[in-house]
């Protein structure tokens, strides 16, 4: 009788360890042109923005972005350009020369499209 209990406790411990690993940070960005990028952010770590917010700074960026919080179908709080901005699905905000549009707002994740002149 002890073995099934021990196996059950071991399985529960492994599950408890695996669940936080599933909530890891994810980041991806793909820029189709010099002016437009698609970005996925999951988690709350800072990431290098793929292009400078200021169009006069070329293509190499030292700018940072992070998702502070997001709720499914609700609002995302995004820190970009040293300022916290909120957006809902389909809305946009401006950082210097860059317009950032929230395409999808999910639980602790956001998909963005960025454009600049």
| Alpha helices per DSSP H over the chain | 2-22
Residue pLDDT, tens place only, 37-87: 999 999 999 999 999 999 898 888 889 999 999 999 999 999 999 999 999
Domain assignment of residue 87, yes or no: yes
Domain span at 49 = 24-115
Tell me how many domains the chain contains. Answer: 1
φ and ψ of 81, to 5 deg: 65, 25
Shortest CA distance to 26 belongs to which of 44, 38, 52? 44
User: Which whole number is the average pLDDT over 85-95?
Assistant: 97
Domain assignment of residue 4, yes or no: no
Domain assignment of residue 10, yes or no: no
Shortest CA distance to 53 belongs to which of 69, 39, 70, 74? 39
Tokens read off for 47:
């990431």
Question: pTM of the prediction?
Answer: 0.78
In contact, 78 and 100? CB cutoff 8 Å: yes
Residue 33 sits at the vertex; the CA angle it makes with 64 and 72, to the nearest 5 degrees, is 55
Domain assignment of residue 60, yes or no: yes
Domain assignment of residue 2, yes or no: no
Domain assignment of residue 34, yes or no: yes
Domain assignment of residue 63, yes or no: yes
User: Which whole number is the average pLDDT over 89-109?
Assistant: 97
| CA–CA dist 64, 48 (Å, integer) | 5
Domain assignment of residue 51, yes or no: yes
């Amino acid at each position: 009788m002890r073995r099934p209990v021990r196996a059950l406790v071991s399985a529960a411990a492994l599950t408890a360890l695996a669940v936080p690993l599933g909530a890891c940070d994810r980041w991806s960005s793909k820029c189709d042109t010099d002016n437009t990028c698609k970005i996925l952010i999951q988690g709350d770590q800072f990431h290098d923005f793929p292009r400078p917010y200021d169009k006069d700074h070329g293509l190499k960026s030292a700018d940072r972005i992070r998702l502070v919080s997001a709720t499914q179908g609700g609002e995302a709080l995004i820190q970009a350009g040293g300022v916290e901005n909120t957006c809902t699905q389909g809305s946009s905000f401006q950082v210097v020369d860059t317009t950032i549009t929230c395409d999808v707002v999910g639980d602790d994740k956001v998909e963005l499209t960025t454009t600049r002149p």
